[in-house]
DNA sequence: CCGATTTTTGACCCGCAGTTCAAGAAAGGA
DNA sequence: TCCTTTCTTGAACTGCGGGTCAAAAATCGG
């Protein structure tokens, strides 16, 4: 009972995520969120409590969607190296083709709030860990399939790739496509 | 003539740099700068014009100091791989040992202002380019010395290393020392 | 010592960020 | 229909961020 919500909370969270992604946490005002979602400020506070709590929901959504995309990319047919390259290229292209280069929400948050904000730091780390797991699993599978050398330490390699990804998404702010693609090639030379 | 300045502009810029480095551009208020420098707000505005202009000076200083340190590290005796490893370890340790993990001012700025702020983006890119040059030159020298394979493309390798550095300085916000050192090892395996 | 020049400084201003709130609107139940 | 509950919304409030200013304080040349 009571008056029904006249918006889909999940949709609003998704719109908020986009806004935070583009403008950063501090760079997004309640007014921005109201405009982006079409929901009045007061109503947002009523439903989500605070800007901060809404941001947490946005981070969680980003984590879910991100790991789905990663899984999807890595599970398609091909060698480990091929699939991982396709994934990295996809990430870079996402930045290059967008109207604004916004990088990775998790990495952006790590830089903006990392160390200063307990909860945000944990959320970011969770997202990174999960990606590392997925990469490590795919490399492991490559070893079983025989397209990855048994010398390779899957987890170490996955952590290194995670580092490369984070780097790329920051470098995408300042460097051009060819340079970024060349970095991908060099990073994957060891696989 | 006129009343002499009560402070060393270079010292104030250095103190401002530290503050921006720790708290970010948006996260640093004029009041913070006044407290960090011991100079009253009005006086800072009189001398530097605006928060933004002071930040530009801070970025320029960071660039100068950074390239000196890089040069210093790479020019010591040893193979290219040894010297570059020492440099990467130094950067990581800097973050790990500090009271707060603040990463790299240039990378932080790339994320905070990159794409949105013309001047800042250029400054960051300048710093990154310079580092790449220094790394490429050292690798080139390694090739001449015979400790680097002639197969290696010095510039591509340098860009890749720059990417690794940027990644490390973001990952330092969320990951522990051993993981970061392992990433360095993996990244340098190809040299 | 006086005026010209340059700094110093806290007080002051404007606007906006983040939040709260009171009044009203839309449901369902008795 | 009226009451309760839940949601909606713009108005209003508080605090602070970035910046300006007027008056006082150093310094120097004449």
Contact flag, residue B29 CB and nucleic strand D, below 7 A: yes
Three-class secondary structure assignment of A99-149: CCCCCCHHHHHHHHHCCCCHHHHHHHHHHHHHHHHHHHHHHHHHHHHCCCC
- CA–CA dist B13, B61 (Å, integer): 8
| pLDDT mean over A114-138 | 93
**pLDDT per residue as tens digits for the range B106-164:** 999 998 888 788 899 999 999 999 999 999 999 999 999 999 999 999 999 999 999 99
Q: What are phi and psi of B40, to 5 degrees?
A: -65, 150
Q: Which of A100, A156, A171 sits opposite B186 (nearest CB)?
A: A156
> What are B50's two structure tokens?
């605006």
- Torsion on CA atoms A159, A122, A103, A176, rounded to nearest 10: -30
Residue B114: per-residue pLDDT? 80
Residue A158: per-residue pLDDT? 98
pLDDT(A116) > 90: no
pLDDT band at A1 (very low <50, low <70, confident <90, very high): confident
| pLDDT mean over B18-40 | 95
pLDDT(B179) > 80: yes
**Inter-chain residue contact B183 with A159, CB threshold 8 Å:** yes
Residue B70: per-residue pLDDT? 98
Higher pLDDT, B5 or B85: B85
- CA–CA dist A138, A144 (Å, integer): 10
pLDDT band at A3 (very low <50, low <70, confident <90, very high): confident
| Contact yes or no for A80/A144 (Cβ under 8 A) | no
pLDDT band at B3 (very low <50, low <70, confident <90, very high): confident
**Inter-chain residue contact A186 with B128, CB threshold 8 Å:** no
| pLDDT mean over B31-47 | 96
> What are B146's two structure tokens?
């015979």
Cα angle B173, A105, B30; round to 5: 65
Residue A74: per-residue pLDDT? 98
Chain B touched by A78 (CB under 8 Å) = no
**pLDDT per residue as tens digits for the range B54-105:** 999 999 999 999 999 999 999 999 999 999 999 999 999 999 999 988 999 9
Residue A66: per-residue pLDDT? 96
Chain A touched by B9 (CB under 8 Å) = no
| pLDDT mean over A138-147 | 97
pLDDT(A2) > 80: no
With CA of B42 and C1' of each nucleotide, the nearest comes out as: C9
**Residues 162-181 (B) with a CB less than 8 A from some CB of A:** 162-168, 170-171, 173-175, 179
- Chain A residues within an 8 Å CB radius of B163: 164, 167-168, 171, 183, 187
């Amino acid at each position: 009972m009571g008056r029904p919500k006249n918006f889909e909370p999940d949709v609003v969270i998704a719109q908020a995520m986009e806004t935070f992604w583009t403008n950063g946490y501090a760079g997004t005002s309640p007014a921005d969120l109201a405009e982006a979602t079409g929901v009045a400020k007061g109503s947002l506070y009523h439903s989500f409590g605070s800007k901060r709590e809404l941001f947490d929901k946005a981070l969680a959504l980003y984590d879910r969607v991100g790991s789905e995309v990663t899984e999807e990319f890595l599970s398609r047919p091909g060698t480990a190296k091929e699939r991982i390259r396709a994934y990295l290229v996809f990430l870079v292209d996402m930045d290059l083709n967008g109207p604004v280069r916004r990088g990775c929400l998790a990495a952006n948050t790590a830089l903006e709030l990392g160390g200063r904000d307990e909860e945000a730091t944990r959320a970011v780390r969770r997202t990174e860990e999960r990606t590392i797991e997925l990469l490590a699993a795919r490399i492991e599978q490559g070893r079983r399939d025989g397209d990855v050398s048994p010398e390779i330490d899957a987890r170490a390699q996955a952590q290194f790739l995670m580092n490369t990804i984070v780097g790329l998404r920051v470098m995408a702010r300042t460097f051009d496509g060819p340079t970024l693609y060349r970095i991908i090639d060099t990073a994957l030379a060891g696989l």
